[in-house]
């Protein structure tokens, strides 16, 4: 067994500026430069590799509430995409000498390799309390400089996330076929085929569908219903992704076209899109849900699950009336909608991430088992 010898970490000046005028100076690491986006916080203790490479964080500067990040290094085995999608990283302390037998580089080197800036020495508790009280704000993170006025000015002039076109930056560029795991399909006949609308899909979602023997065709976010029909799918699956769900017009139209003809399922962003397609409304949360410890109640089974989440928008519960959808899951903290099902059709979705495995695996089989079941398979 061998261990990586980590080179000396290069540190620099850094400053974080918020649109409300807040200026936080700290120590920069990673790449020198400027990152702009919403400053959002996650409460997870581990899983920083998964979080930073989650395409849903596109357009956001990611802050961890846990005070030490990077202590087990970076292995690359848990990436959710090919690269970091968070625009920058804010932590109390970034571990300079990680220790884990699978680690190949430090979090400092990871950000440097990816051209992303980070800042440490920050009072993340104060910033988290501020976000909870005043809501999520635009921010600018500058490494190589500690000019706070410049950072605030950049933050104030950066577009709101509701105005950004983020989906095009994370979707696949062309269709891709992924055969299901050989011999894994449990059911009569040949394996079923799902068309997955890729709005920034996480690898673990693909893996969970793949390991259950389902053939997958990933298609770009702009794929039209006619093109999807050409693949003769048994299921339409709508993925997670970044930004405002109302901007995913092609995905919304795809759900409208196939609702009632084949089963339709979705996770996170996909849940919001399915709800919009059926006639519901969505709204932006004050500070969102991000972390691996969100309690969710199954209103039908009367059970509580601990779930992993990453979202800044939610479905308006009152707007579900008349859509055929009903609330199946509810957030036990703030009573926001965490999942819906249709009264008559095979349409269902969840706001949380059943594939995330951030520690609890409570919801994985609950969701993906239902996907298999609606396709005629055995769980």
The mean pLDDT of 92-101, rounded to a whole number, is 96
For residues 291 and 263, what is the distance between their CA atoms, to the nearest angstrom? 29
pLDDT (0 to 100) of residue 359: 60
pLDDT (0 to 100) of residue 166: 95
Using pLDDT thresholds of 50, 70 and 90, give the confidence band for residue 6.
low
Is the model more confident about 50 or about 356? 50
For residues 62 and 107, what is the distance between their CA atoms, to the nearest angstrom? 14
Name the DSSP letter for residue 147.
Answer: -
Task: Just list the catalytic residues.
Answer: 268, 353, 355
Name the DSSP letter for residue 344.
Answer: S
Q: At what angle do helices 203-210 and 364-374 cross, to 10 degrees?
A: 50
Contact between 59 and 183 under an 8 Å Cβ cutoff? The reply is no
In this model, does residue 150 exceed pLDDT 70?
A: yes
For residues 220 and 375, what is the distance between their CA atoms, to the nearest angstrom? 23
The mean pLDDT of 154-169, rounded to a whole number, is 87
In this model, does residue 2 exceed pLDDT 80?
A: no
Burial 208-234 (b: 16+ CB within 10 A, else e): bbbebbbbbbbbbbebeeeebeebebb
Name the DSSP letter for residue 318.
Answer: G
Contact between 1 and 87 under an 8 Å Cβ cutoff? The reply is no
In this model, does residue 1 exceed pLDDT 50?
A: no
For residues 329 and 351, what is the distance between their CA atoms, to the nearest angstrom? 9
pLDDT (0 to 100) of residue 164: 75
HSE, side-chain direction, 13 A CA sphere, residue 243: 24
DSSP output for 149-209: HHHHHHHHHSPPGGG---HHHHS-SS-EEEPPPTT---BSSSPPEEEEE-SS--HHHHHHH
pLDDT (0 to 100) of residue 358: 63
Q: What is the pLDDT of residues 175-218, one digit of tens each?
A: 999 999 999 999 888 999 999 999 999 999 999 999 999 999 99
Using pLDDT thresholds of 50, 70 and 90, give the confidence band for residue 357.
confident
Which segments of the chain are extended strands (E)? 12-18, 23-30, 33-42, 60-64, 68-69, 88-90, 93-94, 117-120, 137-143, 176-178, 193-197, 215-219, 235-238, 264-267, 282-298, 303-315, 325-331, 337-342, 347-350
Name the DSSP letter for residue 52.
Answer: H
Name beta bridge partners: 89.
62, 118
The mean pLDDT of 208-229, rounded to a whole number, is 98
* In the block, residue with structure tokens 């006025």: 149
Q: What is the pLDDT of residues 24-64, one digit of tens each?
A: 999 999 999 999 999 999 999 999 999 999 999 999 999 99
Q: What is the pLDDT of residues 260-317, one digit of tens each?
A: 999 999 999 999 999 999 999 999 999 999 999 999 999 999 999 999 999 999 999 9
For the chain, what are the domain ranges?
12-163, 167-374
Q: Which CATH number fits domain 167-374: 2.40.50.100, 1.10.10.10, 3.40.50.1820, 3.40.50.880?
A: 3.40.50.880
Q: Which CATH number fits domain 12-163: 3.50.30.20, 3.40.50.300, 3.40.50.2300, 3.40.309.10?
A: 3.50.30.20
pLDDT (0 to 100) of residue 362: 78
Using pLDDT thresholds of 50, 70 and 90, give the confidence band for residue 3.
very low
Percentage of the chain exceeding pLDDT 70:
97
The mean pLDDT of 129-155, rounded to a whole number, is 97
pLDDT (0 to 100) of residue 188: 82
Q: Are strands 325-331 and 282-298 parallel, antiparallel or unpaired?
A: antiparallel
For residues 2 and 308, what is the distance between their CA atoms, to the nearest angstrom? 33
Contact between 220 and 258 under an 8 Å Cβ cutoff? The reply is no
Q: What is the pLDDT of residues 258-275, one digit of tens each?
A: 999 999 999 999 999 999
């Amino acid at each position: 067994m061998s261990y990586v010898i980590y080179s000396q970490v290069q540190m620099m000046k850094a400053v974080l500026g918020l649109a409300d005028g807040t200026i936080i100076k700290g120590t920069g690491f990673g790449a020198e430069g400027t990152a702009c986006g919403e400053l959002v916080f996650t409460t997870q203790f581990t899983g920083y590799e998964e979080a930073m490479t989650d395409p849903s964080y596109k357009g956001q500067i990611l802050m961890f509430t846990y005070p030490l990040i990077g202590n087990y290094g970076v292995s690359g085995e848990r990436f959710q995409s090919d690269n970091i999608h968070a625009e920058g990283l804010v932590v109390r302390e970034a571990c300079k000498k990680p220790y884990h037998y699978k680690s190949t580089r430090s979090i400092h080197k990871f950000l440097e390799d990816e051209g992303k800036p980070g800042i440490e020495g920050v009072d993340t508790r104060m910033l988290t309390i501020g976000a909870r009280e005043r809501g999520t704000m635009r921010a600018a993170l500058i490494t190589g400089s500690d000019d706070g006025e410049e950072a605030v000015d950049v933050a104030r002039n950066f577009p709101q996330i509701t105005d950004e076109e983020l989906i095009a930056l994370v979707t696949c560029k062309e269709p891709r076929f992924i055969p299901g795991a050989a011999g894994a399909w449990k059911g009569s006949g040949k394996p079923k085929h799902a068309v997955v609308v890729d709005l920034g899909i996480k690898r673990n979602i693909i893996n969970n569908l793949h390991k259950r023997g389902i053939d997958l065709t990933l298609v770009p976010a702009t794929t039209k219903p006619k093109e999807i029909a050409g693949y003769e799918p048994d299921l339409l699956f709508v993925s997670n992704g970044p930004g405002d769900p109302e901007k995913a017009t092609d995905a919304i139209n795809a759900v409208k076209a196939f609702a009632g003809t084949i089963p339709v399922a979705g996770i996170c962003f996909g849940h919001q899109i399915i709800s919009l397609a059926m006639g519901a409304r969505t709204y932006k949360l004050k500070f969102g849900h991000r972390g691996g410890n969100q309690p969710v109640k199954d209103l039908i089974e009367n059970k509580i699950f601990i779930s992993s989440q990453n979202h800044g928008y939610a479905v308006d519960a009152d707007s579900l009336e008349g859509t055929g959808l009903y609330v199946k899951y509810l957030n036990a903290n703030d009573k926001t909608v965490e999942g819906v099902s249709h009264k008559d059709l095979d349409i269902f979705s969840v706001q949380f991430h059943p594939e995330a495995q951030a520690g609890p695996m409570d919801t994985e089989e609950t969701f993906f088992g239902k996907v298999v079941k609606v396709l005629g398979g055995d769980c």
